[in-house]
Amino acid sequence: MENIFIILTNRLLKILGALTKGFSYIFHFFFPNKRFTIPKQSQPLIKSKKKTLIPKIIWQTNYTNKVTLPVYLNYLAIRAFSPTFEYRYMGTEDRDEFMKENAPKRLYDAFSLLNDGAAQADVWRLFVLNHIGGVYLDIDAHLVWPLEWIIKKDDKEIILKNKIHYTNYFIASSKNSLLLKKALDLIVENIEQRKSNIGIYSLTGPNVINNIINNFSINSRYYKYTAIQGSFTNEYFQYLDKPKGKWTHKENSEIIKDDKNR
């Protein structure tokens, strides 16, 4: 019965997102330079007495926190479904500083070789979750059900599964996860061996988790009951200030810096 209500909420959010997305084209036609600020940190809106192994922190990243209307509305949708969670955002420079201060040298050196923001975000999300814990969501993803109800008291991780495989646009984890550590180890090996030919999706992205997950007993959820992408925003609005900034526009040969650009 619960899943029926979740799917209903899913559909309503998609309709709302489509309407606001359509309005946003008009809005930014008349106000092309108007941007909204996603806070770098905000406290929970409601205190919760429920104790969980997964810290009540939401993590997000993007190349800037000065965003278009639909990206900001996507952020508001997340906060509406996570009132008991703290929110933390890190931009490109913040990610680098955090990794430099907290990651092992070998991991940071590999991270520094990446020449693409999405690939860097792939590494950062796994590390911050393993180092501190919490819930990561891509900047274009939003929840379809309250996190307070999704995360159970004894959950150590929640890995999202779509129709084909596990994905990484939503990951919830307690700190010191063996799964995330193994994923980071594989990413470091991929970068050190300069496997840029396999593309970002396999170098640092979802395929990393899919390549190791069979060795673990994990807690997973179906994406339609948890979090979806693209309802409120799209590539145009996300990269309005950075045309062709999405990872899909970068050649594989450009992903890893060569020795001259290190």
CATH code of the domain in which 187 resides: 3.90.550
Indicate whether 157 belongs to any domain: yes
Residue 231 lies in a domain: yes
Is the torsion defined by CA of 187, 57, 102, 90 positive or negative? positive
- The yes-or-no verdict on residue 262 having pLDDT over 90 is no
Q: How many domains does the chain have?
A: 1
> Among positive and negative, which fits the CA dihedral 87, 207, 11, 140?
positive
User: Can you give the pTM of this predicted structure?
Assistant: 0.95
Query: Is residue 94 situated within a structural domain?
Result: yes
Is residue 260, in this structure, part of any structural domain at all?
no
In a domain, 100, yes or no: yes
* 107 inside domain: yes
Q: What does the pLDDT look like over 119-157, one tens digit per residue?
A: 999 999 999 999 999 999 999 999 999 999 999 999 999
Is the pLDDT assigned to residue 260 strictly greater than 70? no
Residue 258 placed within a domain? no
Which residues on adjacent β-strands are paired with residue 141?
Answer: 229
Owning domain of residue 213? 2-41+49-248
The amino acid occupying position 75 is Y
Residue 232 lies in a domain: yes
3-state secondary structure of 107: helix
